[in-house]
């Protein structure tokens, strides 16, 4: 079965650079979520999209933005990177009607040096 695809798997950036993370949800899933998990921390919700519209916002810094495109893939754009942005970034997708599950991608490990 198709899973949630995230790219890249690993990314190394320098401070003040920008990064773009991509997420391809499971086909026909209508909601995409982004989470940030710092080292030794629990995942923190950043932002979500339902049918390509932003549906909820969590603790996403102003330096970050995200969008969902017509083909349902989503991108998380991160600018002016800081050392503290080093984390595992997860994308998850779900189908809101008749289901309860969230499927997570394998994550993108971002290291800011």
- Taking a C-beta distance cutoff of 8 angstroms, is the pair 88, 109 a contact? yes
Distances (CA, A) of 64 to 1, 20, 67, 80, 107: 31, 10, 11, 9, 17
Nearest residue (CB) to other proteins, 35 versus 64: 35
Nearest residue (CB) to other proteins, 81 versus 105: 105
- Taking a C-beta distance cutoff of 8 angstroms, is the pair 6, 103 a contact? no
Instruction: List the one residue from 33, 66, 76, 110 that touches other proteins (CB under 8 A).
Output: 33
Instruction: List the one residue from 23, 29, 48, 64 that touches other proteins (CB under 8 A).
Output: 48
Regarding 73 and contact with other proteins (CB under 8 A), the answer is: no
Asked if omega into 8 is within 30° of 0 (cis), the reply is yes
Applying CB under 8 A, which residues contact other proteins? Answer: 31, 33, 35, 41-45, 48, 50, 55-56, 58, 88, 90, 92, 94, 96-97, 99-104, 106-107, 109
């Amino acid at each position: 079965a198709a899973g949630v695809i995230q790219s890249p798997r690993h990314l190394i950036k320098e401070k003040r650079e920008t990064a773009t993370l991509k997420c391809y949800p499971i086909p026909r899933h209508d909601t995409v979520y982004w989470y940030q998990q710092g080292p030794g921390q629990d995942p923190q919700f950043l932002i979500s999209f339902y049918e390509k519209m932003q549906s909820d916002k969590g603790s996403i810094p102003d330096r970050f933005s995200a969008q969902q495109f017509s083909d349902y893939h989503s991108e998380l754009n991160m600018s002016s990177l800081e050392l503290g942005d080093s984390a595992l970034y997860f994308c998850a997708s779900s189908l809101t009607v008749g289901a309860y599950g969230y499927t997570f991608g394998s994550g993108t490990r971002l290291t800011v040096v």
